[in-house]
Amino acid sequence: MNQELFTINNLWMMMATILVFIMHLGFACLEAGMTRAKNTVNILFKNTIIPAIGLLTYAFIGFSLMYPGEAFAGAFIGLNGLGITLPEGWDTVAYDEGYTFFTDFIFQAMFAATAATIVSGAVAERIKLGPFIFFSILYVGICYPIVGMWKWGGGFLDTMAIPFYDFAGSTLVHSVGGWGALIGAYLLGPRLGKYTEKGMNAIPGHNIPLATIGVFLLWFGWFGFNGGSVLSASPGDVSRVFVTTSIAAAAGAFGALIASYLKFKSYDITMVLNGILAGLVAITAGADLMAVWEAAAIGFIGGTIVVFAVVFFDRIKIDDPVGAISVHLVVGIWGTLAVGLFGDLAGMSQILAQLKGIGVIGAFCVAFSFILFYSLKKTQGIRVDEAEELEGLDINEHSMRAYPDFATKD
- In degrees and rounded to multiples of 5, residue 106 shows phi and psi of -70, -35
127 falls within a domain: yes
402 falls within a domain: no
Residue 362: its H or E element: helix 348-379
pLDDT bracket for residue 1 (50, 70, 90): low
Mean pLDDT of 328-332: 97
| Number of helices followed by number of strands (H, E) in the chain | 17, 2
Domain count for the chain, please give it. 1
The pLDDT of residue 38 is 95
The pLDDT of residue 408 is 54
- In degrees and rounded to multiples of 5, residue 407 shows phi and psi of -80, 140
Amino acid at 114: T
CATH number at residue 343: 1.10.3430.10
> In this predicted structure, which of 40-49, 113-122, 317-326 has the lowest mean pLDDT?
113-122
Q: Give per-residue burial for 65-75: e unless 16+ CB within 10 Å, then b.
A: bbbbeeebeee
Does residue 149 carry a pLDDT above 90? yes
88 falls within a domain: yes
Amino acid at 112: A
Sign of CA dihedral 86, 92, 97, 102: positive
Dist. CA 378–CA 76, nearest whole Å: 30
**Which pLDDT tens digit goes with each residue over 347-358?**
999 999 999 999
Query: Quick one: which of 314, 338, 309, 312 has its CA closest to 326?
Result: 309
pLDDT bracket for residue 368 (50, 70, 90): very high
Does residue 4 carry a pLDDT above 90? no
Task: State how far the alpha carbon of 278 is from the alpha carbons of 86, 114, 127, 249, 374, in Å.
Answer: 38, 15, 25, 7, 29
Dist. CA 122–CA 398, nearest whole Å: 20
Mean pLDDT of all residues in the chain? Answer: 94
Mean pLDDT of 278-287: 98
The pLDDT of residue 69 is 86
405 falls within a domain: no
Does residue 407 carry a pLDDT above 70? no
Mean pLDDT of 208-216: 97
Dist. CA 153–CA 164, nearest whole Å: 13
Query: Quick one: which of 137, 148, 140, 14 has its CA closest to 68?
Result: 148
Is the whole-model pTM more than 0.85?
Answer: yes
Instruction: Identify the three-state secondary structure at position 200.
Output: strand
Angle at 326 between CA 312 and CA 190, to 5 degrees: 65
- In degrees and rounded to multiples of 5, residue 185 shows phi and psi of -65, -35
**Maximal C-alpha separation, the chain:** 69
Angle at 405 between CA 400 and CA 410, to 5 degrees: 70
The pLDDT of residue 266 is 94
Dist. CA 277–CA 298, nearest whole Å: 12
Does residue 87 carry a pLDDT above 90? no
406 falls within a domain: no
Contact 14, 88 (CB under 8 A): no
408 falls within a domain: no
115 falls within a domain: yes
Task: State how far the alpha carbon of 316 is from the alpha carbons of 195, 220, 320, in Å.
Answer: 10, 34, 11
Question: How many Å separate Cα 136 from the centre of its chain?
Answer: 13
pLDDT bracket for residue 197 (50, 70, 90): confident
Question: How many Å separate Cα 5 from the centre of its chain?
Answer: 31
Contact 182, 329 (CB under 8 A): yes
**Which pLDDT tens digit goes with each residue over 154-173?**
999 999 999 999 999 999 99
The pLDDT of residue 324 is 96
Does residue 409 carry a pLDDT above 60? no
**Which pLDDT tens digit goes with each residue over 56-71?**
999 999 999 999 988 8
Does residue 196 carry a pLDDT above 90? no
Length of the chain: 410
Contact 365, 180 (CB under 8 A): yes
Residues spanned by the domain of 120: 3-397
Mean pLDDT of 88-102: 86
Dist. CA 343–CA 182, nearest whole Å: 30
Does residue 406 carry a pLDDT above 80? no
404 falls within a domain: no
Contact 5, 96 (CB under 8 A): no
> In this predicted structure, which of 21-30, 79-88, 185-194 has the lowest mean pLDDT?
79-88
pLDDT bracket for residue 199 (50, 70, 90): confident
Contact 384, 393 (CB under 8 A): yes
Mean pLDDT of 375-397: 94
Contact 299, 252 (CB under 8 A): yes
